[in-house]
Structure 1
Amino acid sequence: MTKERFISTKAGFGKKNKIIKGFSDGGYFGYAIVNLGDMDGDNKDEVAISAPYEDGGDGTVYIFSGESLLNNGNYAQKLKPEKFRGFGLSMTALQDLDNNGCRALAIGAPHGNKVALYKCSSAITVKLSFNLPQIQGFLLENQIISFTICLSVTYPEKPEVINADIEITTELTHPNSELVNGIDGKYSYVENLDKKLPSYCNTLQAKLRRDQNSELFQIMRYKITAKLKNDPEEQTFKPARVVLSQSSKLALQGEEWQSSCNLGACVPLLKPHFISSIPAIYIIGTSNSIQFSIDIENEGQVAYTSCLIIKVEGAHILRHSSRCTRNSDDEDSIKCKPEGAILEKTVWGIGDVELDTSTLTSKSKSILLSYDVYDQCNKESGKKEYTKKIELVPEVNFAIDGHSNPDKFVQTTANELNTEGKKIQHVYTITNNGKTDWDSIKYTIEFNSSIINFNETYIVAQTETSTEVCSVDDRIRNANVTTLQCDISDLMKNQKAIIVIAMDLMKNMFRDEGRDINVYVNTKVSIDYEKKIMKSVSTEISIISTLTPLWIIIVSSLVGFILLLLIAFGLYKCGFLQRKKKENLIQLKKSVHRQSVMRMSMRQSRAARDSTYYDSLLEDEEEYEREQRDLPVEQ
């Protein structure tokens, strides 16, 4: 098991929509995401995101702050141990093993049959600040001034004991100024944070010299840096040791100027000029970025420490010139300062500022640019506020198509409908042919049929990135039309949304009355933004009767009887049903009868002589009956 540490950063979740892309194709960036909790005391959580197939399948895990996820997308640390395969296929945050307010992170690499355990050090956020008293006006030769350097610190809840030393170095680089007690133009000191104070300040002194050959005097150019001396990454791990968060402000640099201005403070008159080709109403999706610049015209006295602070709402600052620096507390705010003083009747420009419009959606309403012009950057009294608003409108360019599934013509029977029911699907396709990425599209469905069982009706809209189920409980019935309003979560430009309306027909609605009937199931989907776009789909259901009508039975019986008579007549004409050799049969019967009479006479004569006459007579009768049975049948 590998034991390492990772650095925490400022993190947090906001309402801004930001897409973070992976750092290599096929790396499966985002395969696993773990919330690491708040490790730097800013009430926002850090996040670990894995890319287990990066670098040919070795895998990488990135540690992000919430701020970077929503703004620049830069990671704070990259975890990539050697000889691991599939590193990051599984991750989990463990308990706080060292009671330092920082959860350990276990990362699986099943392709290499390994698990790496990373212990972490909690983070503190430190920010440098510089305060120089107003020195515009008359300057004495070799005048000594004092300035203050402060270090503000934000601590996490744990650990309770902090071991951290911050080394601060101040450097003056202009030849007309030098640090008192400095060595080679630099002065360094260490602030120990064991007491966990909210701020630590130190006052330094500098000697300033006046240049007699110039009206303007650049009296100080400074550079201040801070660093952690006992970085736990470079030492044996101890829970009390901390690291510096990504939000820490560890460097300051700037310039200060002086002039007599008739022995008083200089009073500049700065007027900004907003320069841009951005239309007043911008169609969302027209471009991935827009640009603007601001020129500052000075109509007053010399401006020595002027600056311009720009804040952007509704978009992100993508790029800016080297004349501006990004505000560490707000990624969508920049401070622009001239390289030197702005003289009378001169113009200074901040350069181009590029805004990211690729993440704008149909819900974006406007971009608000606020720019504040400071006569003196460290004083609010000379601030002038300006705003520029850019209205945003989405492009409406949808196309709707639809069809019935399985077919627009369906055959069935009343018995099948009543016992098994019938399922029908109407499938619609909504295509976004416009430039705008739409967020939450509302569409309306109209049902023009009374045989739909809404309790068994299911409606779902699916795009490449979302699935939205529409509840039929909110339907509205008006006369013969049922209306339902549904949502599509998002529909990017050049993408399609598939809407499936799965309907069950109501049972026990039809009786077989011996005739076929046709019924129709009609639906209509419409979108109403600026103009109404709609599409209808109809399914014809043919209900075929399985009963035979009475008139058909009567006619069939009559036809059958007539056919039977015709067959009998034909057979009769062909000799069937007629007697053959009838005379021979008559003669045979007469002959048999005579023989029977003779035998009876003979028996009667014998009866007088025979006491058994009666029995003999009975035998003759039985014999006669047998002879009658043995006679041939008439043909």
Structure 2
Amino acid sequence: MFRSILFLGFLIFAIFCDENFNLDNVLKIPSDEGSYFGYSLFLQNMGYKNRLIVGAPLSNKFVFECDPLGLNAKCSKEELLDDSVIKFNKAANTTNFFGSVIDGEVHGSTVVTCAPRHVASSFHTRGICVVYNTIGGKQYLTFEDDRAILSQHGKSYYAGAFSQAGFSLNYMKGEDLLVGMPGFDNNLGKIRILNLNTFSTYERKNHLSPLENSDFYLGYSISSGYFANGERWYIAGQPRGNFLNGQVVIFRDNIINYLKSDEFGSYFGASLLVDDVTNDQLDDLFVGAPSSSMENNYDQGHVSFYKFDLVNNFFYAPIKLYGDGKSGSKFGTTMAKLGDIDLDGYNDIAIAAPFEDNSGAVYIFKGSKEGPKKSQKLTPKLFKAFNTRGFGLGLSNGLDIDNNGHNDFAIGAFKSGEVFVIRSKSAIDLKASLDVDITTIHEQTKSLTATYCFMYSQRTARAPVKNISLVATLSVDYRAGTNTSFQRYILIPTQNDTKCFKTLLNINLRYNTDLSPFKLSLKADVKTPNLIISKNYEILEKFIPLSDNCGDDNVCKSLLSIDVESNLQEIILGKDNILETNILVKSSKEPALKCEIIIEKSQSIELRNVKECSQTHKDIVCPVSNAFVGEKKLTVRFDLKNIQPSLKYININFKVRTLSGALPDSLLKYPLNIPIKLVNSPYLQGKSDPEDIELGEEINSISFTQVYTVVNSGPSPMKVDVKIFSPVIENIISITRTRIATKDEATECIIGRKDIAANLKMEDKSLATFKVPENKSISLNCFEGTCTEITCNQGYLFVSELTEISISYEVDVKALESKFKTEFLTKEVIMFLSTAKIQNITSHSATLIYGKTNKSLPIWIYIVAVLVGIILLTVLIFVLYKCKFFNRRYQEKLKEEKLLEDENPANSNVVMSDLEDN
């Protein structure tokens, strides 16, 4: 018999009405203090009551406790910063922003809030946090153990002085508390993790950026979640990292990976939210970029949704979520978990655009198997609130405060000092069915009867819904004639009570040339107010095939097959950007009716330029033909630019389906598996800083750093996995620091075994490059014997990117001289040579250590010096002799002249020339 696809039985609609919340009963909590009341919010169920904690950062030491139901009209002040207990520098005269972030136990009594600008001493904004509950009192977290100022490479910089601890928080009940410190280390940032039982701390240092790259703001936002293999991953935002494009760091004990933005100045990573909105038992990640801009506009903002891919152990390519796209809205500034508002099995979230239209807006996104879907937009004007500003910067978590079985939440408008408590509606499942009394329409068919039924059920029994009213609209194919729409008002008195109705439809297909299936659709509009209506389809549709050469039984059975060819046998990442698939569908025997191709693909590749196809979160549907026998060809192209380099292959499943049915021998599936290959050409170069060192008389220790530069010449991303072999000598030459760093980040290398054989090639032993005679040098290298192995890993380098690996050493001079005392009698220098390897590339870094120059001169030098002196003296005497220097007659002449002067003064004018003439 013919198998038409009929909607038999009841189908549950799962498209929700636009309004999830009751806007006719919104509680407004005002404040006239001008303290940014509503900047942060936290709803808490303490067992015996619900309370709303409201942050007011300009109050300096207070938070407010309010009744979310409004039974107590005024909120009470809670003074949590006690001046008599904690240090507080009043001379600083600054606002500490206490209460700017609040987190804690949703079901319990513990609350954590912070003052990131708190000044305890001097004028340093170290920050402070308070953990308090009704049982254990208050616990202050002061973060004063970090030194205020440190120095590195001769430069001083601020370490913990302006860390602003508590700028962001993440409270995980029963586990730990994450505290973001974006101002640490010249605004590089740091994450501190505190044990909730002991409040002892440990830090994640290995993901800090190099000192020269300040102002990355690591810890501007912080969150955590469970992703791969039940492991908890920590997630921190760096909105100024990645060359000011913004990035997110994902880490445990070491960095796992990064999520990076490609939009300059978007502030990607300014906000984070982790929640399972797809109900796959794995957390999903939302990353806000509130300063993202689109063409001809500015600061609209967007949020990137990342779903986890278990196969490749990382996230799929992101799906971007938007508000209304208005300039200056800053959509994504804050986000909040609402829980499962409508009890459909999927968690829901709220995303704020607090500056939209100078007032603010909050967008509700419903969870689903495919991901978040925009459901409702909340603005103050919807509940007649005017002059409201900053609406949405404060968002609370979801909590059922009125006991109707559905979560409610609160929205803060900090600029106008207001808080609004929004209550949810009751959710019902509306079930519908649509059926007809025929299976195939022939040319002779004159009429058919459509039967449609409705029934509703409530998802919680806490607040029963007594009845619902709706308007049903049955729309019929245009080939039914002039009357193609039928409406009926329906009242269903009680839940689980089914109401059915029949409609006779006239058909005339005598001159019809359209062979597409006959279509009927059913739509239901519920008129009962304050309900969340859950449906599987907004419009319920039925297709009835038209008989077309389907044999005497009027049943079309096609012999179908699908074949796929691609332009790539393997994908070279970075080189191959487009995957082109040519799909061939064959149909024989009888026509295939309403034939379609279903493409299941990885989220890391994207559909490109196929207008006929429609795309969901995971699948692509491409129509082939309403009815055909023969062959149909279709070309589908995919964009490969967003493939993660950790992927090993791409899987694409092609399926063909038909409304009429296929014969048993049909080939309905074609899996396409294409391996991914990384092809790159690494460049590796080593150097030493300084290149040579001379041992002095009063030098006890010396230090030097060997640096290796790694560059990826492409075309594919390159996994950074560098092995360095170093000939350290225990208690003489030791490693003091290891680091592998790019412009964005830095992490430590791992020092492994100290007795590993490097197994270097013999040709690497040549020392000619370093211009040191082997007979005059003591060589410390890793060509023979064992060395210390250092492993440096740091994700992937993309084309033209570089990373630097630095290994710092310290040498005990006395121990070195003692060990090589004998060698230094005949040798002049120690060559300390390390070797680095990546893939099949090897490079060296050499440091020359010269010994003390304290040796006597050879005797031949003295002999030559004496001979030269004798020769010079002989020449001098000979010259003086020639100049009559040794003739004594001049002295006698002078004496005679003196006697003449004494005897005859009148003739004293005798001159030397006269004497000479005589």
TM-score, scaled to structure 2: 0.46
- Among 788, 806, 811, the alignment partner of 1:482 is 788
Structure 1: 5+ residue stretches without partners:
5-11, 233-240, 556-635
Moved more, 60-69 or 256-265: 60-69
Alignment match, 2:656: 373
Matched, 1:185 2:485: yes
Given that residues 574 and 717 in structure 2 are in contact (C-alpha distance below 8 angstroms), is that contact kept between their aligned partners in structure 1? yes
Relative to structure 1, is the Cα distance of residues 262 and 400 closer, same or farther in structure 2, using a 3 angstrom cutoff? same
Larger Cα-atom Rg:
1
For residues 2-55 of structure 1, give each alpha carbon's deviation from its aligned partner in whole angstroms, at most 9, with x where no partner exists.
999xxxxxxx98779996858x863424312234x5679776767665445467
- Among 257, 270, 274, the alignment partner of 1:31 is 270
- Among 283, 290, 306, the alignment partner of 2:572 is 283
Alignment match, 2:692: 409
* C-alpha deviation, 1:409, in angstroms: 0.8
For residues 138-192 of structure 1, give each alpha carbon's deviation from its aligned partner in whole angstroms, at most 9, with x where no partner exists.
675234255778999997x9987789988764422331379xxxx7524467798
Alignment match, 1:526: 837
Q: Which amino acid aligns with 1:83?
A: N
* C-alpha deviation, 1:408, in angstroms: 0.9
- Paired residues in the alignment total 510
CA distance in 2, matches of 1:63, 1:200: 42
Alignment match, 1:463: 742
After TM superposition, list the pairs within 5 Å mapping 1:366-515 onto structure 2: 366-376=649-659, 384-405=668-689, 407-413=690-696, 416=699, 419=700, 421-438=701-718, 440-450=719-729, 456-478=735-757, 479-506=785-812, 508-511=814-817
Moved more, 514-523 or 304-313: 514-523
CA distance in 2, matches of 1:209, 1:249: 26
CA distance in 2, matches of 1:184, 1:307: 27
Relative to structure 1, is the Cα distance of residues 243 and 165 closer, same or farther in structure 2, using a 3 angstrom cutoff? same
Given that residues 52 and 58 in structure 1 are in contact (C-alpha distance below 8 angstroms), is that contact kept between their aligned partners in structure 2? no
1:510 partner SS: helix
After TM superposition, list the pairs within 5 Å mapping 1:88-237 onto structure 2: 93-94=396-397, 96=399, 98=401, 102=407, 104=409, 119=422, 121=424, 135-136=439-440, 141-146=445-450, 169-176=473-480, 184-187=484-487, 207=505, 209=507, 211-213=509-511, 217-218=515-516, 220-223=518-521
1:301 partner SS: strand
Q: Which amino acid aligns with 1:373?
A: V
* C-alpha deviation, 1:390, in angstroms: 1.7
Tell me the C-alpha RMSD between the 2 structures: 5.3
Given that residues 408 and 540 in structure 1 are in contact (C-alpha distance below 8 angstroms), is that contact kept between their aligned partners in structure 2? yes
CA distance in 2, matches of 1:219, 1:510: 91
CA distance in 1, matches of 2:684, 2:279: 51
Structure 2: 5+ residue stretches without partners:
1-29, 31-36, 40-224, 229-255, 309-314, 324-330, 332-351, 361-388, 758-784, 863-918
Given that residues 125 and 244 in structure 1 are in contact (C-alpha distance below 8 angstroms), is that contact kept between their aligned partners in structure 2? yes
Matched, 1:544 2:814: no
Matched, 1:297 2:553: no
Relative to structure 1, is the Cα distance of residues 3 and 522 closer, same or farther in structure 2, using a 3 angstrom cutoff? closer
Q: Which amino acid aligns with 2:265?
A: G
CA distance in 2, matches of 1:17, 1:228: 48
CA distance in 2, matches of 1:61, 1:475: 52
1:141 partner SS: coil
CA distance in 2, matches of 1:463, 1:218: 60
CA distance in 2, matches of 1:283, 1:509: 53
Alignment match, 1:625: none
Relative to structure 1, is the Cα distance of residues 548 and 359 closer, same or farther in structure 2, using a 3 angstrom cutoff? same
* C-alpha deviation, 1:496, in angstroms: 1.1
CA distance in 1, matches of 2:831, 2:498: 81
CA distance in 2, matches of 1:303, 1:315: 32
CA distance in 1, matches of 2:670, 2:594: 19
- Identical-pair percentage: 13
For residues 582-623 of structure 1, give each alpha carbon's deviation from its aligned partner in whole angstroms, at most 9, with x where no partner exists.
xxxxxxxxxxxxxxxxxxxxxxxxxxxxxxxxxxxxxxxxxx
* C-alpha deviation, 1:396, in angstroms: 1.9
Alignment match, 1:336: 622
CA distance in 1, matches of 2:471, 2:613: 27
Given that residues 524 and 534 in structure 1 are in contact (C-alpha distance below 8 angstroms), is that contact kept between their aligned partners in structure 2? yes
For residues 539-582 of structure 1, give each alpha carbon's deviation from its aligned partner in whole angstroms, at most 9, with x where no partner exists.
1112326x788999xx9xxxxxxxxxxxxxxxxxxxxxxxxxxx
Relative to structure 1, is the Cα distance of residues 453 and 95 closer, same or farther in structure 2, using a 3 angstrom cutoff? farther
CA distance in 2, matches of 1:116, 1:297: 63
Q: Which amino acid aligns with 2:650?
A: I
CA distance in 1, matches of 2:463, 2:260: 35
Matched, 1:258 2:258: no
* C-alpha deviation, 1:275, in angstroms: 4.6
* C-alpha deviation, 1:467, in angstroms: 3.3
Alignment match, 1:83: 358
CA distance in 1, matches of 2:510, 2:420: 65
* C-alpha deviation, 1:217, in angstroms: 4.9
Alignment match, 1:272: 562
CA distance in 1, matches of 2:284, 2:623: 33
CA distance in 1, matches of 2:260, 2:533: 25
Relative to structure 1, is the Cα distance of residues 490 and 50 closer, same or farther in structure 2, using a 3 angstrom cutoff? same
CA distance in 2, matches of 1:394, 1:146: 58
Given that residues 231 and 243 in structure 1 are in contact (C-alpha distance below 8 angstroms), is that contact kept between their aligned partners in structure 2? no
CA distance in 1, matches of 2:595, 2:704: 71
2:479 partner SS: coil
Given that residues 312 and 369 in structure 1 are in contact (C-alpha distance below 8 angstroms), is that contact kept between their aligned partners in structure 2? yes
2:627 partner SS: coil
* C-alpha deviation, 1:258, in angstroms: 1.8
Given that residues 402 and 427 in structure 1 are in contact (C-alpha distance below 8 angstroms), is that contact kept between their aligned partners in structure 2? yes
1:279 partner SS: coil
Relative to structure 1, is the Cα distance of residues 64 and 411 closer, same or farther in structure 2, using a 3 angstrom cutoff? closer
The structure where helix makes up a greater share of residues is 1
Given that residues 651 and 674 in structure 2 are in contact (C-alpha distance below 8 angstroms), is that contact kept between their aligned partners in structure 1? yes
Given that residues 34 and 93 in structure 1 are in contact (C-alpha distance below 8 angstroms), is that contact kept between their aligned partners in structure 2? no
CA distance in 1, matches of 2:789, 2:510: 85
Relative to structure 1, is the Cα distance of residues 40 and 359 closer, same or farther in structure 2, using a 3 angstrom cutoff? closer
Alignment match, 2:782: none
Relative to structure 1, is the Cα distance of residues 230 and 449 closer, same or farther in structure 2, using a 3 angstrom cutoff? farther
For residues 504-560 of structure 1, give each alpha carbon's deviation from its aligned partner in whole angstroms, at most 9, with x where no partner exists.
2356523476968522222222111xxx01221111112326x788999xx9xxxxx
CA distance in 2, matches of 1:73, 1:256: 36
Moved more, 452-461 or 85-94: 85-94
Q: Which amino acid aligns with 1:30?
A: G
Relative to structure 1, is the Cα distance of residues 433 and 309 closer, same or farther in structure 2, using a 3 angstrom cutoff? same
Q: Which amino acid aligns with 1:484?
A: I
For residues 39-80 of structure 1, give each alpha carbon's deviation from its aligned partner in whole angstroms, at most 9, with x where no partner exists.
797767676654454679996665676559945623264543
CA distance in 2, matches of 1:476, 1:202: 83
CA distance in 1, matches of 2:731, 2:461: 62
